[in-house]
Structure 1
Amino acid sequence: MSAIKLEMRPLTPALQQKACDELNEVPERLAADISTLRAWLRQQPHLSARQSDQFLLNFLRGCKFSLEKAKRKLDQYYTLRTTLPDLNQHGFVDDQRLRAIIRLGVTLYLPLPLLEDGPCIMLMRPGKYDPKAFNMTDLLRVSFLLQDIYLISNDNLIIGGFMQIGDFEGFSMAHLLQMSPSLMKRFSLYVEEGMPMRIKNSHFFNTGAIFEKLFATVKLLLPAKMVERFQVHNTFDSLCAAVPKKYLPKDYGGENGSIEETIAKTEQLVLEYREYLLDEKNYGVDEKCRIGGPNNLETEYGLDGSFRKLNVEGHKSKAKHIMSNIRPLTPELAKRAQEELGEVPERIDADIQQLRDWIVKQPHLNARTDDQFLVAFLRGCKYSVEKAKQKLDNYYAMRGAVPELYKDRFVNDAAIDILRSSVYLPLPKPIAPDGPRIHLSRYGVFDTNKYSLSDIIKVRTMLGDIQFRDDDNAMVMGFMEVIDFKGVGPGHIFLFNAVLVKKLAVLGDKAWPYRPKGFHFINVNSACEKIMSLAKSMMSDKIKKRFHVHANYESLYKHIPKECLPAEYGGSNGTIVAGVKEWENKLLSYKEYFEEDAKYGTNEKLRRGRPFNSESLFGIEGSFRKLDID
């Protein structure tokens, strides 16, 4: 009987010897062991896994050829990935942020292992990225993708394990405050329990007081076996005593390639494995189909832990709690968030995770799940998780129901041109440090021959999405809007129709996570009064009470102080030209964000229960074009 030919790489003699000596590998039994593991996989209704020879062999090697351990490890590998929805997004391979982070050299696998049969060496430099440009989720996504590549392509990693070297030069409080304890714990647990590779040891140098605070807390959360392998070096010589200098990059005086060369090779490797990574979306677990019932990850792995009680002494804000990966609020806004929204700092991690877990279980919903995005919906719903679920579902369902506002929502010449017209502008300063943001709408300034009202509102939704992520005043305290009807003529009025106004009313009330505090109308003529009458008829009673028509500016100033308005309105809140320029730069910086955003939404065919559509969401037909304008 001829031997079965396996599709796998041959090992070097040194690695083959080590596999036999330390991993219990018997070359003659490989085909039988792989076949046994593959047969078991096919009997698991909940598990959709890769089944190539090389992939399965790596799990056998990672478990020293214990078939039972390999089965459990494979199951854990896919199960634990479900706890990392922010990271388990292989479409990130096409995101420009991935290439930008790789080019910073934050996470790099060095070309040469430690000895011919030794571990792969991974260099981490977390102080090399700008916390204002990237967040910890972005960095961990890159690590996640690189691990998937090296899992299938690097034999030293599988047989010899891997060694981490962490250079914390430049690591600051801004970096530390981005650390999401819950996310980091899940990621570390996934590496330890789910990946078929062994961490040999971790070496940290160029550490300072900020690192020490992080390290002291990390040790409380990670498995004891992993912590025992941590070594902190006070000097570079101490590091070189543990890791021979020649195995370090040339930039550190070693012989293991240069940082620049390694970055270039990493970029090329990502391109080579692009299709492999994109194909990863086809694999995972369906707990509803698991024999014996779903796994309870919280019970089995204790995933509810966090750094909630981390006390970073010596920092000027005396922060007692590091939240998930969200910006810390100013003291004034933090106080208002607790008093008016019911925000409990110690519970934010759990509330975000509860919302994220719900999203993962919705077959129809493909949503962003990063912390900053989710906390916006929690704050907008005053921490009612159930209301936040409904609003988030509506937010994405609207994309299919209102295609005129969400289709082709890209940062292009038209969007920039509309922004430059200053038809809509969030002003730079809120009404107070702990007050709402001020919006200015001027519907009489855009060219009705070039753009429709849908075009205008589409750009407004883009600015709103940026505010959801960036504007803490708007998300905690809501917004006040000044609507100036100066210049509005028949051409503008003709663009308003009942259907669009109704959709906009529902969108603002049921889908957007920030709260309107008041709408203040100025320069209102008789035709504009009819627009207002129509708009009010579509609003809830609560919103109607927030409509205010001002006969003059003095009346407006009683609600919004004069100094809170732009210079063009007699105030000192910047100029419209400067505000437009600031928002133009911000919108351009979100170009890739909106390109990526096109992939999110709902698939109503997969929704449990009645699908959402325009009729169920809005229930209105009609046009404002038939309105008689005297």
Structure 2
Amino acid sequence: MEDGLVELKPHTLEKLRREVDLDDPDRRREAIDILREWIKKQDHFLVKDFSDYYLEWRLLTNGGSIEKSKIVIDRLCTLRTLNPHLFGVYNVKEDFAHVFDNGICFALPKVMEEDIRVSFIKFFKKDHIKTYFVDFLRYIVVMAEYMTYHDYLHKTVLVFDFLDVNLNSFVTDMDFMELKRHSTVLLEGFRMKPQKILLMTESNLAATLLTILKTLLKPKIIQRIQVIRNHEELSEIVPREILPKDYGGDEIAFKDLKEKWLNELSSPKMMEMLKQRSKERTDESLRPMCQFSEHYAGMEGTFRFLRVD
């Protein structure tokens, strides 16, 4: 993309369109128009003006299916309503300054084979995680909002770097129910599809962390979790040519990537985008109750917005 934060291989977009039978411009236009007309009829949507880019992104990340795209458009709007504390118009440099001495999340510019994006979540040994955890989750949501409008890829490898933290205190202090709500937002709302989840730690408590995660995540996701102990093992999975220098790779250093991400996510353009996205919610009093029950019963979140006659 133009900002250089995330790149696509040549012809990736054409390939993605072809894979879901949307390479024909007329067919693509028709699918986007069908979604747009459906959105207009959703009385519970507070915003009905979605860009062509967003609607195509929804189609591409849902196998070209119009019906699946309808469900996930509705789902993200609903999750904004059910979990308002995770969404907001945040200037990450100002609002989350205390977070970045403790952790950082960023995507690598280049992709793996099969158009898989690699994202890092790195923690540092400083404050107790409970003092910054929710703001860290909010920061990741801001990053997900950015990726929605700058990256067509939804397959990812997630690298959790715990090498610099005491995993015992980390696990003890973590709010796992908040983590579950957040994972629902990323997996069900933003449609992130982890191909692998790498936990990088030398601690024997990795097994304990895995046991806890099994109670929060679906079995399909759990099967993709792998514990690695160092940068060398990481490079056996993620090619060195796309890794930062700090991780034994050929790309720009971690601190430089961090600064580029923080600058972009705090830019005026990003603030305007977040203002628009914050309006993309639902008024649940206008949704048929049977429809809510069918799709969202049991989903993590707050129901204080609901009114039942």
Range into which the TM-score falls when normalised by the shorter chain: 0.7 to 0.9
State the AA in 2 paired with 1:348.
R
8 Å Cα contact 1:423-1:446 kept in structure 2: no
| Shift in Å, 1:424 | 1.0
For residue 618 of structure 1, what is the amino acid of its counterpart? Answer: E
Deviation of 1:449 after TM superposition, in Å, equals 7.0
| Cα 1:603/1:445, change in 2 over 3 Å | farther
* Contact 2:35-2:55 at 8 Å conserved across structures: yes
Paired letter, 1:438: V
**Pair 460,358 (structure 1): closer, same or farther in 2 beyond 3 Å:** same
Unaligned runs of 5+ in 1: 1-131, 134-328, 621-630
What's the % identity of the aligned pairs?
22
Mapped to 1, the partners of 2:18 and 2:227 lie a distance apart of: 30
Between the aligned partners of 1:338 and 1:362, the Cα distance in structure 2 is: 27
Q: Is the 8 A contact 1:410 1:595 kept in 2?
A: no
Residue 257 of structure 2: aligned partner: 579
Write out aligned runs for 1:455-604 (5 A). 455-472=135-152, 474-475=153-154, 478-489=155-166, 490-589=168-267, 590-604=270-284
Give the C-alpha shift of residue 332 in structure 1. Answer: 3.0
| Alignment-derived partner of residue 11 in structure 2 | 332
Provide the rounded CA distance (Å) in 1 between the counterparts of 2:21 and 2:196: 22
- Which has the larger Rg? 1
Alpha-carbon distance change, 564 to 502 in structure 1, aligned in 2, over 3 angstroms:
same
Measure how far apart 1:619 and its partner are.
8.9
Aligned residues: 289
Aligned to 2:299: 617
Residue 333 of structure 1 aligns with an amino acid whose one-letter code is T
Distance 1:362 1:396 in 2: 11
Q: Is the 8 A contact 2:101 2:126 kept in 1?
A: no
| 1:442 corresponding residue in structure 2 | 122
Letter aligned with residue 151 of structure 2: D
Supply the AA of the counterpart residue of 2:157.
Answer: M
State the distance in 2 between where 1:331 and 1:568 align.
Answer: 27
Q: Which amino acid aligns with 1:522?
A: M
* Structure 1 letter corresponding to 2:187: D
Gaps (5+ residues) in structure 2? 303-309
Whole-Å separation in 2 of the counterparts to 1:595 and 1:366: 13
Structure 1 residues 110-509: aligned runs within 5 Å: 331-338=10-17, 340-346=19-25, 347-367=27-47, 368-406=49-87, 408-412=88-92, 413-419=94-100, 422-432=103-113, 435-445=115-125, 447-448=127-128, 451-472=131-152, 474-475=153-154, 478-489=155-166, 490-509=168-187
Shift of 1:606: 0.8
The structure, 1 or 2, with the larger RCO (C-alpha pairs under 8 Å, 6+ apart) is: 2
8 Å Cα contact 2:232/2:248 also seen in 1: no
For the residues of structure 2 that align with 1:615 and 1:485, how far apart are their CA atoms? 34
Q: Structure 2: how far apart are the matches of 1:420 and 1:377?
A: 34
- 1:602 is paired with a residue whose SS is coil
The TM-score with structure 1 as length reference comes to 0.42
Q: Is the 8 A contact 1:452 1:495 kept in 2?
A: no
Indicate if the aligned counterparts of 2:129 and 2:174 stay in contact, CA closer than 8 A.
no
In the alignment, what sits opposite 2:306?
none
Secondary structure at 1:386 match in 2: helix
Counterpart CA distance in 1 for 2:179 and 2:230 is 26
- Once the two structures are TM-superposed, the CA of residue 524 in structure 1 deviates from its matched residue by 4.6
